[in-house]
Every structure is written in structure tokens, then in C-alpha cells.
Amino acid sequence: MSWYMTEDDIRAALAPFNIANRLEGVHVQGGMVQVSLTASREEAARLEPLCREAEAALRAMPGVKNATVVLTAHAAPPAPPAAEALLPGVKHVIAVASGKGGVGKSTVAVNLAVALAQSGLKTGLLDADIYGPSLPKMLGITTKPEVREGKMIPLEAWGLKVMSIGFLVPEEKALIWRGPMVMGALNQMLGQADWGELDVLVVDMPPGTGDAQLTLAQKAKPHGAVIVSTPQDIALLDARRGVQMFNQVGVPVLGIVENMSYFCCPNCGHRSEIFGHGGARAEAERIGVPFLGEIPLQLAIREAGDNGAPVVAAQPESDVAAAFRNVAAEVARALAG
């Protein structure tokens, strides 16, 4: 069988399990296999062993790096395992989130993680944005992770252990997946990756406050969340929703970061508050959570990200790198406290 197997290959491999009438979706991409099955509430527990057997059969196929068989929303699957079972060697999980896209959440997550690693903490970074993975580009990683004894081995860059769906699919490939497929991929990168011993795992969350965010918050059991916003009123409104989401699932909010806080002209030094200024600080005070710091809008951040070298690592003596390190220090203090 070729490395680039088809859905028909997967369906043929599942034929001995007599589940054709339950198959809701099959997706194959880059050696990762996602299968979703329909089941009633009463059938869910009984079908779990069959799902695990089917996963084992799929993983034994040539070219399969990992496989997940999940029950769809039509069923009521058993409660997900505790965070300790998914991430046994990880001391702390930090979710970096925003209520909307376009506020620089991934940039903050990457540089926060690198700054934490520079401070001496064993740090990992998980790209949980399945539809729009950006970490491979921002970290300059073009290789694929190895699989050893059924576990994916996170790649390493800039002092971090890193996992992203972007390592497994072509950069230009659009993933058109239903919810169960997304949940399966997230479960693989969490529970079926060998993260080893980490002081902290930074999770770059998808934008918004939907099912993926809620499920990930419940399964990874973050010890705290960092909310990223710009100073604009509309962005702050979405950040407020993000805070409420984490409150509802019992995840403490470590604080708010104001990204793109201001712009200083590199030629004359004139400061312009393009998106306003101070809104995130005021919002943090209003809702009673810490304000973690301001990150300016600078060309160096964009250039470093496009070149695959986070600005904290590429220009460690710059003012913007210092701003990210200050945020990292506040996060580390919050975790320690």
C-alpha cells in the first residue's frame, strides 16, 4: 500500500469490524487517520473497546502515523480522561486565547513560550488551531514528527517542544473537517504525543469560544488562561467573552495582554496609538483580573515571525523582546502563586 492511502483503503481495513453502517466520516491526511462513528447514548460505552481495536488495526497499516476512532455527537461518549492521564509529565498547561481572530494571539503564544523557555522552564507549545495552523511558519519548522511506539515525538525549535497539525499537512492545504475530526486531531496531539517532562505547556487556542475551545479547555484542564486583545472596543468585547468562557469551565484567567498597544515610528520615534491605548488594562481592572502587559506594534515582530525566528530569540535585546519577557515573568509568577 502506498504512503498516500485513500479513504477506500481505510474502509477496507475497517470491514472486519462490521461498522460500515456506523461510519459517518473518514479522513486521511499526511499519515493521520480520523474516523467518526455514530452511536446512541446507550451504545457508547459498549462501543469504546471496539473503537480502540479499530484504532490499533489502522495504526498497523503501512503509512499510518496515527489513527483515532471517535464517536460523534449523536452519542454520549464517556467523560474524557483527566489531564494527568493525557499529559502525565506536564506540570502546568497555559491556554493563550482570544475571543476573535486577528489580534496576534499566535504571535503572543509563540513569544511567550520562548520567553518562558529562556527563563529556564522546560516548555512545550501546542498549536491547537486545526483550521489555521501558523506555528510551523512562525518557528521555521518544515520537518514532520517521528512516531515511536505509537507516540508522535514533538519537534524542537528555539528551546521548545512543539506540535502542530501544520507539520502533517501541506501548508496550502485547507482542512475541511467536521467537529469530531477536529476533536480527534486535538486528542492525538495532546494524549498521543510524547511530551515528556515539561514545566509548562503553552496551548495556542483557536480563536473564538466554540465547541473546540470548550472541549480543549475541559480535556487539557489548563491551570490558567492568558487572554490576548487589542485596545479596540470591539476586540475587548470579544476578549470579555473569552474570559467568561474560561470562567464557565473553571479555568482561572491569569490575565489580559494588550497586543498592538501602540506604534513607534522607527525613523523619528513618534508614537501613534493606532488602535487606541489602555483599553485592555481598563478591561482587566473592570472584571478583576491581572493586566499582564503591553506589546507594541512593530515591524520587527512581523519580520521575525515571517522568517521563522520569534523576535524574543531573534532580537533578545530589543524593547519588544523585553515586553514579551515581562509578560512571561507575570505568567510564571501567577503559576507559582
Angle at 229 between CA 225 and CA 230, to 5 degrees: 165
Counting the structural domains of the chain, the total is 2
Claim to verify: residue 183 and residue 94 sit in the same structural domain? yes
Claim to verify: residue 61 and residue 96 sit in the same structural domain? no
Distance between CA atoms of residues 108 and 19, nearest Å: 44
Count Cβ atoms within 10 A of the Cβ of residue 41 and give its class: 0-12 exposed, 13-18 middle, 19 or more buried. Answer: exposed
Q: Residue 90: which CATH number?
A: 3.40.50.300
The boundaries of the domain holding residue 34 are: 7-71
Claim to verify: residue 166 and residue 303 sit in the same structural domain? yes
C-alpha cell at 182: 477536529
- 255 touches 330 (CB < 8 A): yes
Claim to verify: residue 25 and residue 112 sit in the same structural domain? no
Q: Residue 15: which CATH number?
A: 3.30.300
Q: pLDDT 10s per residue in the chain (337 long)?
A: 344 577 888 888 898 888 888 887 787 776 778 788 887 767 777 888 888 898 889 888 888 888 888 776 443 334 444 444 578 889 999 999 886 667 888 899 999 999 999 999 999 999 887 776 788 888 888 888 888 887 888 999 999 999 888 777 666 666 656 666 666 777 777 777 889 999 999 999 887 666 667 777 777 788 899 998 887 656 566 677 778 778 777 888 898 998 877 777 677 766 776 666 777 788 888 878 888 988 888 778 878 878 888 999 888 888 889 999 999 999 999 888 7
Give CA separation, 141 vs 55, 152, 194, 215, in Å: 28, 16, 18, 27
Claim to verify: residue 56 and residue 160 sit in the same structural domain? no
Claim to verify: residue 286 and residue 317 sit in the same structural domain? yes
Q: What was the pLDDT predicted at 209?
A: 67
Is 45 within the bounds of a domain? yes
- 19 touches 48 (CB < 8 A): no
Whole-prediction pTM: 0.71
Q: Which of 43, 71, 99 is the last residue of a domain?
A: 71
